[in-house]
Structure 1
Amino acid sequence: MQTQTHELVPHPAHPPAQVRGVSAKVIGHDANWLRLRWRIEGSGALVVPAFAGKGRADGLWRTTCFEAFLQPDGESGYVELNFSPSERWAAYDFNAPREGMAERPMPREPDSTMRQGSTFAIFDAAVPAQGLPTIACAMGFTAVIEEEGGILSYWALQHGGEAPDFHDPACFTARLAAPPPA
């Protein structure tokens, strides 16, 4: 499987302090798992939420978290996936941008890990494929990055407005092929 690295850009209204870049990519996709990776460059002041153990949680976007959006081809609805370095996660379905939000069922909990070096951090998430769309999708990679001092920056493949809005379909510029059959 070929993986393409996608460079995310910070929203101009919320610039980072020390973070120099955020990239994301699919590192694996088969009938069992969708594996995603985000890399943060310049992570010396990164705020990492405390370990909380696996489990669903809302409001993960209030501090450092990583998100993916999947919009099946030909549909107005989409899936939002949120992952925290605390190991908390969330999954939602939407009928249209920010409309009809409902908790998305997952057959089992996603897995995630965060590794930090002196100047970079890597966050990996593995999502059960049985809980995801089974057709090709437009995809959005996003990240909320908190740095020391409460500095929040909002990173996406593209931004469409004056305020950060990861639900804007203009952010869904990547592609995710349908998983191969089991």
Structure 2
Amino acid sequence: MEVKARRPAATTVELSFVLQGELAALSFPSRSHRRWVRGLWEHTCFEVFVKPENGSVYHEFNFSPSGEWAAFAFSDYRDGKPFGERLQPAVTTRRTETRFELDAIIGPELLPGVDVRTRLWIACGAVVEDSGGTLSYWALRHPADVPDFHHPDGFTLELASERHAY
């Protein structure tokens, strides 16, 4: 799995997830309407957690190959609630026999309180379901013995605004 992240503007995060290999051995949710759905992590989905540099507040975004998505706002570790149900991140997917790509753009309406001076830390991961229903958990870093995408030490990638030098 490969993840690319960039911040082309102060209040926008762009992500590109690539899953490459024998995709026939994996299970992908069927295409659906683009809508907010809870529980996407129970099947193949791609996740990003975005945290401003100071404090414990962070946001979680889940993107399914089906086109469905979810977002949650957290005031502290795992203390969160659904967020942005009426908003629409831009999500596109492409698939061949050996490659699946999901691109997502998280705009300013989904990043409240973020401005040009805000340093962002992110954690990226994926839940991948095989054709037998077994889930595997992929992340830039698993800081604990068990996968936990919310773990504070999992926010390992600093994402600076490309239009602002710190």
Give structure 1 stretches of 5+ with no counterpart: 1-21
Give structure 2 stretches of 5+ with no counterpart: none
Instruction: Tell me: CA distance 1:179–1:55, structure 2 relative to 1, closer, same or farther (3 Å).
Output: farther
Secondary structure at the aligned position of 1:130 is classed as helix
**Can you list the C-alpha shifts for 1:158-181, whole angstroms capped at 9, x where unaligned?**
112222110001211011124748
Q: Tell whether 2:154 aligns with 1:175.
A: no
Q: Tell whether 2:20 aligns with 1:41.
A: yes
Following superposition of structure 1 onto structure 2, how do residues 14-163 of structure 1 map, counting pairs within 5 Å? 22-27=1-6, 29-30=8-9, 33-42=12-21, 43-99=23-79, 101-105=80-84, 108-132=87-111, 133-134=114-115, 135-163=118-146
Once the two structures are TM-superposed, the CA of residue 105 in structure 1 deviates from its matched residue by 3.0
TM-score scaled by length of structure 1: 0.79
8 A contact 1:107–1:130 mirrored in 2: no
TM-score scaled by length of structure 2: 0.86
Instruction: Tell me: CA distance 1:179–1:57, structure 2 relative to 1, closer, same or farther (3 Å).
Output: farther
Cα distance between partner residues in 2 of 1:131 and 1:180? 19
Instruction: Tell me: CA distance 1:170–1:140, structure 2 relative to 1, closer, same or farther (3 Å).
Output: same
Cα RMSD between the aligned structures? Answer: 2.0
8 A contact 1:107–1:131 mirrored in 2: no
How many residue pairs match? The answer is 159
**Identity score, percent:** 36
Once the two structures are TM-superposed, the CA of residue 111 in structure 1 deviates from its matched residue by 2.0
Instruction: Tell me: CA distance 1:131–1:122, structure 2 relative to 1, closer, same or farther (3 Å).
Output: same
Higher mean C-alpha displacement, 30-39 vs 80-89: 30-39
